[in-house]
C-alpha cells in the first residue's frame, strides 16, 4: 500500500523514498513506491508528472494511476531502477500547482453556485483540460455575472482551505451531500473553505482561495435535467501580469488621453455612425484596450477607475451622436436624408399557382357561357360512383383509389346513398347539377379531389375541373369544339387536341384527350431531329371526356331521348404544369410549400 503524501500536504514537491516494485510494460515501466507525492488521476483532477531519480537510473513519470491500494507510476526509464532502490521524487511543480489552483477554483465556484442556487445537486467536477462542474437542476440564463462575482469575492477574501482525514462515520456526520461513490482505496478526506460547510474531497488544494486568482465562468449549459458550469483561471503569466499593478492616477491619465484622441477622430470622420463607433469604442480601439486593462489596477482602486471609464465612454458616445447629426445635415453627404426618395416596398407575395390556374380556367369557360359551380368535396358514394353507372363491384372503380369516411349509417337515409367518400373526381357534380332541374346546363365544377396515391406524378390531394353541357342536340362536335377552344385560350393558338377512344362507365362514347406538345408542336422531334424531351411522341395526355351515358342522365332526372350532353374532367395541376412547358421532376413540389419553388410562378 502506497502512502499518499499529497492528501495531507499538497505543497510537498520532493521526497526521498524507496522503490517497492518495478515492472516492464513494453517499452515503458510501471513503478510503485513506499510513499508518493504524485497525484494519481481521479476525482476530475489529472495526474501529476515529474521524475524519480535513483543511483543507477532516472524515470520520467508520464501518468499516474491508482491500482487497488497502490499508486502506479507509468514511466520511461533511462538506466535501471529496481525494487529496494532509494530514489528522489520531484513533481513537475508548475503543472501540479496549476492543477491545484484549478481544483480549488472548482470548489470555490461550487460554493458560489450553491449559495445562489441551493437546490442544485452536484454530479461531477472536471478540473483538467476543460474545467467544469455538472449539477442536476438548471440555472437561469443571464446568471453568469452573479456567479462570477460571488466566486471572485471568495477569491478576494483569501479564505483558508483546510483538509482533514476522517472516518466514514465522521464524513457522514459532517457533510450535507455524500458523493455517489466513495473511494475504497484512499483515506477519506474533507476540505473546508473559510467557514463554509465541509465537502468530501481527495484531490490537491491550494492553501488559500487567493492563490486561485481570478475565476472566469466561460459558459453555462442547461441540457435536459442537468446544467454544466464551465470555468477557467488565469495562466501563471496572466497572473503575474495582473500583479504588476498600474497606479490608478496613471490609468486615468491614459483614459483622458484616449478620450481626446477619440474625439479628434470623430471630428475628422465622415464615416457612418456604426463604423465610427467601432473605430473609437470597439474592442480593438485605444479605449477598448484600456478598458480591458482595468484588471491591472489594484482591486481596491478599480471602482474609481471604472467610474472614469464609464464617463469617458459616455462622452465619446455623445460626440459620435452629435457628429452623425451634423454629417447627416450636410446634403452632399451620401448619408444625408432625402425625404423625396420613395419608400422601400415590402416584398409582395402572390396567389398559389393552383389558385391562379383555377381563376384563369373559370374565366376562359365563362366567356362561352359555362358557369362555375361548387359541389360537395365529401360526398355520398351514390354521387361519386353509383349514379355514374359504376356499381359497387365494378372493376373500373379500382382506378379511383378512394378514401372512405367512417360514419354511422343512418337508417332513415335512403339506402342508395351508401358510404361517404372524399370525392376522387369532380364527376360527383354531374348528377348533383342535373338534380337542380334547370336546362340547358353549362357548368364548370372546379374542386379538390382525393386519391390514395403519392408519387412523383401524384399528390393525394389535387384539383380537377369538370365541364358539362346538356341540351337538345349536343354532339361530339361540340365536345371537340369546346376542347379546342379551351386549349387555344389556355395554352396558346398553336395548340390543338386529338381524341383517343377510351372507356369510362359514365360516358359513351368515351375519349381521352391529348394535346399537341408545346415544344415540338406534335412532331415528336426537335429542329435538329433529336426526340423531344417533353413528350417523345408529339402528344401529351390531358384529360378524359365523352358523351354522357343515358343511365347517368336518367339518374339525374333527365330524359335521354330528348337531351344529350358531354362531360369532361381534367387535372388542374397537370394542365398548369403543361402550360409552361415545365416538366416537374416531382409534382408533389406544388404542395411542399417551398417558397423557392413557388416564387418562380
Ligand atoms: N372523372 C374522370 C376522371 O377522373 C374524368 C371524366 C370526367 C371522364 C367526365 C369522363 C367524363 O378520370
Residues 174 and 283 in one domain: no
Q: What percent of the chain has pLDDT over 90?
A: 51
Sign of the C-alpha dihedral, residues 121, 189, 3, 90?
positive
pTM across the whole model: 0.46
Domain boundary among 296, 314, 329: 329
pLDDT of res. 422: 95
Q: Tell whether 156 and 276 lie within a shared domain.
A: no
Residues 211-226, mean pLDDT to the nearest whole number:
90
* Residue 342 within any structural domain of the chain: no
Please report, for residues 99, 214, 507, the alpha-carbon distance to residue 211 in angstroms, rounded to integers and kept in the order given.
12, 9, 96
Judgement on whether residues 480 and 553 belong to the same structural domain of the protein: yes
d(CA 191, CA 107): 9
User: 421 lies in a domain?
Assistant: no
Distances in whole angstroms, Cα of residue 396 to Cα of each of 242, 359, 389, 454, 505: 89, 32, 10, 20, 8
Q: Report the chain's mean pLDDT, rounded to a whole number.
A: 88
Read off φ and ψ for residue 433, nearest 5 degrees: -70, -40
Q: Which of 487, 460, 277 is nearest to 364 (CA)?
A: 487
Count: domains in the chain: 4
Average pLDDT over residues 485-507: 93
CB 577 within 8 A of CB 535: no
Ligand 1 within 6 A of CB of 545: yes
Distance CA 483, CA 486 (A): 5
Closest C-alpha residue for ligand 1 atom 10: 545
Q: Is the CB of 522 under 6 A from ligand 1?
A: no
| Residue 126 and residue 108 share a domain | yes
What is the CATH classification number for the domain harbouring 526?
A: 3.30.930.10
Q: Is residue 64 assigned to a domain?
A: yes
Question: Do 154 and 230 belong to one domain?
Answer: yes
Centre of ligand 1 from the C-alpha of residue 120, in Å: 69
Q: Do 466 and 556 have their domain in common?
A: yes
Mutate which of 504, 542, 575 for ligand 1 pocket (most atoms within 8 A of beta carbon): 504
In-domain check, residue 530 = yes
Are residues 25 and 72 located together in one domain of the fold? yes
Per the CB < 8 A criterion, the answer to whether 23 and 29 are in contact is: yes
At 80-127, the pLDDT tens digits run 999 999 999 999 999 999 999 999 999 999 999 999 999 999 888 899
Burial (Cβ within 10 Å: 0-12, 13-18, ≥19) of residue 276: buried
Start-to-end C-alpha separation, the chain: 82
If you ran DSSP here, which 8-state letter would residue 45 be given? B
Mean pLDDT of 511-535: 81
Ligand 1 binding pocket mutation candidate from 429, 506, 544, 570 (most atoms within 8 A of CB) = 544
Number of helices (H), then strands (E), in the chain: 15, 25
Q: For 87-134, where are the alpha helices, taking DSSP H only? A: 93-116
- In this structure, the answer to whether residues 105 and 151 fall within a common structural domain is yes
Place of cell 480601439: 285
124 and 234 belong to one structural domain: yes
pLDDT 10s digits, 41-90: 988 889 999 999 999 999 999 999 999 889 999 999 999 999 999 999 99
Q: What is the predicted pLDDT for the residue at 583?
A: 60
Q: What crossing angle do the helices spanning 476-491 and 353-366 adopt, rounded to 10°? A: 130
Residue finishing a domain among 76, 91, 106: 91
Is residue 559, in this structure, part of any structural domain at all? yes
Domain-located, residue 39: yes
Q: Which of 56, 91, 126 is the last residue of a domain?
A: 91
Residue 413, pLDDT score: 60
Q: Which three cell numbers stand for residue 238?
A: 496572466
Distance 111 CA to ligand 1 centre (A): 78
CATH number at residue 51: 2.40.30.130
Is 127 inside any structural domain?
yes
Q: Could you identify the atom of ligand 1 that is nearest to the CA of residue 569?
A: 7
* Model pLDDT, residue 329: 56
396 falls within a domain: no
How many angstroms separate the alpha carbon of residue 6 from the centre of ligand 1? 91
Domain span including residue 280: 244-329
Q: How far is the CA of 251 from the centre of ligand 1 (A)?
A: 89
534 — pLDDT class (breaks 50, 70, 90): low
Quick one: 296 and 280 in the same domain?
yes
Instruction: Let me know whether 129 and 215 are in one domain.
Output: yes
Cβ–ligand 1 distance for 544 under 6 Å, the answer: yes
Q: How far is ligand 1, taken at its centre, from the CA of residue 466, in Å?
A: 8
Q: How far apart (Å, rounded) are the C-alpha atoms in residues 517 and 532?
A: 9
Burial of 393 (0-12, 13-18, 19+ CB in 10 A): exposed
Ligand 1 neighbourhood includes 556 CB (under 6 angstroms)? no
Shared domain check, 265 and 194: no
Whole-number Å distance, alpha carbon 505 to ligand 1 midpoint, is 9
Amino acid at each position: 500500500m502506497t502512502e499518499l503524501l499529497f492528501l495531507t500536504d499538497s505543497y510537498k514537491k520532493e521526497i526521498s523514498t524507496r522503490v517497492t516494485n518495478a515492472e516492464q510494460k513494453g517499452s515503458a515501466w510501471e513503478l510503485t513506491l513506499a510513499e508518493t507525492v504524485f497525484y494519481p488521476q481521479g476525482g476530475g483532477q489529472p495526474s501529476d508528472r515529474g521524475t524519480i531519480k535513483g543511483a543507477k537510473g532516472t524515470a520520467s513519470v508520464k501518468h499516474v494511476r491508482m491500482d487497488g491500494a497502490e499508486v502506479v507510476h507509468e514511466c520511461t526509464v533511462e538506466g535501471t531502477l529496481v525494487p529496494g532502490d532509494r530514489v528522489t521524487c520531484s513533481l513537475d511543480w508548475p503543472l501540479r500547482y496549476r492543477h491545484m489552483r484549478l481544483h480549488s477554483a472548482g470548489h470555490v465556484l461550487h460554493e458560489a453556485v450553491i449559495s445562489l442556487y441551493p437546490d442544485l445537486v452536484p454530479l461531477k467536477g472536471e478540473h483538467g483540460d476543460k474545467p467544469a462542474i455538472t449539477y442536476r437542476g438548471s440555472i437561469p440564463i443571464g446568471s453568469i455575472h452573479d456567479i462570477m462575482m460571488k466566486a471572485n469575492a471568495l477569491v478576494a477574501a483569501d479564505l483558508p482551505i483546510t483538509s482533514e482525514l476522517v472516518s466514514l462515520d465522521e464524513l457522514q456526520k459532517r457533510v450535507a451531500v455524500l458523493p455517489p461513490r466513495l473511494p475504497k482505496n484512499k483515506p477519506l478526506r474533507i476540505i473546508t473553505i473559510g467557514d463554509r460547510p465541509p465537502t468530501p474531497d481527495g484531490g490537491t488544494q491550494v492553501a488559500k482561495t487567493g492563490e486561485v486568482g481570478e475565476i472566469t465562468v466561460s459558459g453555462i449549459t442547461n441540457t435536459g435535467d442537468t446544467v454544466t458550469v464551465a470555468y477557467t483561471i488565469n495562466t501563471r503569466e496572466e497572473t503575474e501580469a495582473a500583479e504588476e499593478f498600474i497606479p490608478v492616477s496613471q490609468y486615468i491619465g491614459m483614459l483622458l488621453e484616449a478620450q481626446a484622441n477619440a474625439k479628434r477622430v470623430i471630428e475628422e470622420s465622415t464615416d457612418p455612425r456604426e463604423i465610427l463607433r467601432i473605430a473609437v469604442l470597439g474592442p480593438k480601439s485605444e479605449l477598448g484596450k484600456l478598458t480591458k486593462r482595468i484588471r491591472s489596477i489594484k482591486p481596491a482602486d478599480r471602482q474609481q477607475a471604472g467610474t472614469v471609464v464609464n464617463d469617458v465612454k459616455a462622452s465619446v458616445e455623445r460626440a459620435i451622436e452629435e457628429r452623425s447629426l451634423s454629417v447627416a445635415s450636410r446634403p452632399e453627404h451620401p448619408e444625408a436624408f432625402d425625404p423625396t426618395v420613395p419608400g422601400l416596398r415590402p416584398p409582395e407575395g402572390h396567389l398559389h399557382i393552383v389558385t391562379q390556374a383555377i381563376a384563369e380556367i373559370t374565366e376562359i369557360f365563362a366567356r362561352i357561357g359555362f358557369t362555375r359551380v361548387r359541389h360537395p368535396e365529401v360526398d355520398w358514394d351514390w354521387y361519386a360512383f353509383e349514379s355514374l353507372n359504376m356499381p359497387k363491384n365494378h372493376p373500373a372503380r379500382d382506378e379511383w383509389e378512394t378514401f372512405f369516411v367512417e360514419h354511422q349509417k343512418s337508417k332513415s337515409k335512403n339506402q342508395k346513398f351508401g358510404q361517404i367518400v372524399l370525392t376522387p373526381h369532380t364527376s360527383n357534380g354531374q348528377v348533383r347539377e342535373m338534380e337542380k332541374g334547370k336546362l340547358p346546363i353549362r357548368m364548370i365544377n372546379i374542386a379538390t379531389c382525393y386519391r390514395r396515391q403519392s408519387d412523383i406524378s401524384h399528390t393525394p390531394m389535387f384539383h380537377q375541373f369538370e365541364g358539362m353541357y346538356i341540351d337538345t342536340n349536343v354532339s361530339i362536335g361540340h365536345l371537340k369544339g369546346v376542347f379546342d377552344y379551351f386549349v387555344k385560350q389556355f395554352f396558346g393558338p398553336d395548340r390543338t387536341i386529338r381524341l383517343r377512344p377510351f372507356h369510362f362507365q359514365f360516358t359513351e362514347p368515351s375519349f381521352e384527350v391529348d394535346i399537341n406538345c408545346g415544344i415540338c408542336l406534335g412532331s415528336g422531334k426537335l429542329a435538329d431531329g433529336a426526340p423531344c424531351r417533353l413528350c417523345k411522341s408529339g402528344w401529351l395526355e390531358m384529360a378524359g371526356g365523352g358523351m354522357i351515358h343515358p343511365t347517368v342522365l336518367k339518374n339525374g332526372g333527365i330524359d335521354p331521348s330528348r337531351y344529350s350532353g358531354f362531360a369532361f374532367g381534367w387535372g388542374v395541376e397537370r394542365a398548369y404544369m403543361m402550360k409552361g412547358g415545365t416538366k416537374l421532376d416531382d409534382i408533389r413540389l406544388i404542395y411542399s410549400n417551398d417558397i423557392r419553388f413557388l416564387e418562380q410562378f
